[in-house]
Structure 1
Amino acid sequence: MDLDPYGWPRAGALDVRQLPTAVGAQGVAPLADSLDRIHEYQRRLYAGRRYGVLLVVQGLDAAGKDSLIRTLARALDPAAFRAHAFARPLGEEVRHDFLWRVWRHLPERGEVVAFNRSHYEAVLAERLWPTGDIGVDWRGRYRAINEFEGHLHREGTRLIKVWLNTSQDEQRRRLLKRLDKPRKRWKFDPSDMDSWRARDRYLALVNETLTATHTDHAPWHLIPNDDKPSARARVAGLLADLLESLAPEYPREDIDCIEHYRALLRGEED
């Protein structure tokens, strides 16, 4: 299949089930190198306070969203990094528009924020398992998401949106691992089986969603995810590249001001 630099099909209908879930690491920067770059360029981003970065991580249950974010967090200064996981909306969240619960968790300028699931649940999980009894204009939600992300981009927030593309066999293996290993059983929820049984319907919605919300300012990156180390290295490389492009240098210093206060601290001025 002919793919663009984002791993996006150049022509034809998108079907994530036909896209790679396991590829080699050739051409992918080593994870350690990308984490080093993230550490350095996040500091420059935080110092400049000009842009914010929002990393949206979507994938099937057991895709490794938590572990991916934990890996990236090793390189991120917690003073300017936050992660938030979105579950099924409840209570006050249901009584507001679907984007209401997202606004409060967006990055400030200088911050990196990672979403484990996101506003995209409102056109994926909520479409399969509705939380309210009112009619929903699903295509209207796609338009709202594109307008929302366009607004964020104009205001200085840059988005990285990744879909962790996991094969059925690998998802089964990871779900069984949650049941078989005592230290992982706490992560298993019976609702995991709902999405497992609805996998084909869910992926059909993923195809529609990715197609409708893939834009120049907020493209989707389709990450082969059967091999976790390779997937983590790919996402880390995306984040490192974006941070470097946004903050290649520290803010320019006012040399006269620096010399003035250096003289004061040395006792050279009254």
Structure 2
Amino acid sequence: MARKEILDRIQKYIRPYCVSIGKDFRLKNFDPADTSGLVLDKGEASELLRRGTEWLAEEQDMLYAQDRWSLLLVFQAMDAAGKDGTIKHVMSGVNPQGCQVFSFKQPSSEDLSHDFLWRYTKRLPERGRIGIFNRSYYEEVLVVRVHQEILERQRLPPSFVSKRIWDERLLDIAHFEDYLTRQGVVILKFFLHVSRKEQKKRFMARLDKPDKHWKFSPSDVYERKFWDDYMHAFEEAIRATASEHAPWYVVPADNKWFTRLVVAAAIVEAVEKLDLTYPTVDPEKRKELQTIRAALGREK
């Protein structure tokens, strides 16, 4: 199958989940169990994903060699939505030298002594590299919004902790992403949209398998009490920060094979648009390389 035909198919499957204008976004319009009418067995899904990851590996090699663009992949989701597995499978063929993965946990005392974006800006990808944020600066308008007692630990001047703080932070994030885009950072944001029912199913599976117990935390179940609050926070975040240069992908996450295909397709499409090529050398450099080759050829 020609690449153009593959790209056409890719666009068909990712277009329904891409949000680049947030004004009228409503989370209720996205079904966590959707597969866009695609019916595949496990083997077919694995083969499609393999082809996608191979393509991504080729593009990443040129991204690294060209050293002009960087790619920032932001993953947000409720617990058990499959962030870790998606990152593992989609990025399986990428050269580790050109990829950096950061998982942001609770902020340190040093983090809390700075602005809310500080610890994330330190981890932005260098030119030529892919940076993956497993959770990100969006936590500051998600978990902090749901559990507003966390704001107290951030030691903001009281006058700045107003009813407008979430709108202000979302505006700051939108401006931050606009700035990064103008520095050559391609930003893709993925919300892995899992249903509450499917999350419960996955939690039960972890509890039933001893080798999965390490992945389970009582806090995961506690957070389910705030499901509606989180859905509202996600909706507000996507609505305020979706843009052409930093789109959100609201990816159905009840079927892991489809989640991974959509994420891989979105990344491939984004890097393909960059029209990447390997750097060319000037005539003087080419002549120098030919001289070196000749010298090596004469060695015994």
TM (norm. structure 1) is 0.91
CA separation in 1, counterparts of 2:23 and 2:282? 53
SS at 1:218 equivalent: coil
Number of aligned residue pairs: give it.
Answer: 267
Q: Does 1:91 align with 2:142?
A: no
Aligned residue for 2:151, secondary structure, equals coil
Residues 245/202 of structure 1: CA separation in 2 closer, same or farther (3 Å cut): same
Structure with the higher fraction of residues in helix conformation = 2
Instruction: Quote the RMSD (CA, aligned, Å).
Output: 2.4
The 5-angstrom pairing of residues 250-265 of structure 1 reads 250-265=278-293
Per the alignment, residue 68 of structure 1 pairs with: 86
Q: How does 1:118-267 map to 2 (within 5 A)?
A: 118-130=136-148, 131-133=150-152, 134=156, 135=161, 137-267=165-295
CA positional deviation for 1:40? 0.3
Q: Deviations over 1:179-222 (max 9, x none)?
A: 22112111111221232111011101111111011112111111
Structure 1: state its 5+ residue gaps: none
Instruction: Quickly say closer, same or farther: Cα 1:18–1:5, change in 2 above 3 A.
Output: closer
Identity %: 34
What amino acid sits opposite 1:145 in the alignment? I
Deviation sequence 1:114-167 (CA, Å, 0-9, x none) = 111100000000111232325261111011101110110000101010111111
**Hey, which bits of structure 1, 4+ residues long, moved more than 4 A?**
3-6, 9-13, 25-29
Instruction: Name the SS of the counterpart of 1:24 in structure 2.
Output: coil
Structure 2 unaligned segments of length 5 or more: list them.
1-13, 39-44
Where do residues 81-120 of structure 1 align in structure 2 (5 Å cutoff)? Answer: 81-120=99-138
Amino acid at match of 1:212: A
- The offset of 1:256, in angstroms, is 4.2
Q: Which amino acid aligns with 2:179?
A: H
Q: Write the distance in 1 (CA, Å) between the matches of 2:17 and 2:190.
A: 10
Q: Which residue of 2 aligns with 1:34?
A: 52
Match of 2:133, SS state, is strand
Q: Distance in 2 between matches of 1:11 and 1:123?
A: 16
Structure 1 partner of 2:30? 19
Gap change, CA 1:186 and 1:203, over 3 Å in 2 = same
Alpha-carbon spacing, 1:7–1:160, altered in 2? closer, same or farther (3 Å): closer
